[in-house]
Amino acid sequence: MHSVTTALALLFAALCTAGCSANARQLAAIDTGGSVSSGRAAVARYGCGACHTIPGVAGARGLVGPPLTGIGKRYYIAGELPNTLENLTHWIRHPKSVNEKTLMPELGVTGKDATDIAAFLYSLK
């Protein structure tokens, strides 16, 4: 699993020119240690799709928050946090501690679920 990710990262790095640093960044972020399929299931279970449009999750067409498509290519989370694995899982678990006025609720997401959700979100193109 990890060696496949590494091989892919090397392949993309070899094909990459200066213009695709965002792709390299996304690939670097993919090795989260979480499970993409568990993350997809968790997103459905927590009801993230009530507020977000999320490809691959049935009924996730919410328009309250930004679409989560291509989140791995974005530089900032919620306009404030640099997009790292730690910051993404922190935001998913405790958005109010980042920005007390955000509309995104504290949903009681566990640490494991947040890691799986991050793996899933970073897999979205």
Q: Which residues bind ligand HEC (CB under 6 A)?
A: 43, 46-48, 50-52, 64-66, 68, 71, 74, 77-79, 91-92, 99, 102-105, 107, 109, 117
Q: How far apart are CA 64 and CA 31, in angstroms?
A: 29
Q: Residue 38's closest CA among 110, 113, 108, 91?
A: 113
**Considering Cα of 49, then 35, then 105, then 80, what sign does the dihedral take?**
negative
4 or 63: CB nearest ligand HEC: 63
8 or 76: CB nearest ligand HEC: 76
15 or 82: CB nearest ligand HEC: 82
Beta carbon of residue 57, minimum distance to ligand HEC (angstroms, whole number): 10
Beta carbon of residue 63, minimum distance to ligand HEC (angstroms, whole number): 10
12 or 23: CB nearest ligand HEC: 23
Q: How far apart are CA 9 and CA 24, in angstroms?
A: 7
Q: What is the largest CA-CA distance in the chain?
A: 43
Beta carbon of residue 74, minimum distance to ligand HEC (angstroms, whole number): 6
| Dihedral over alpha carbons 52, 58, 59, 65 (to 10 degrees) | 0
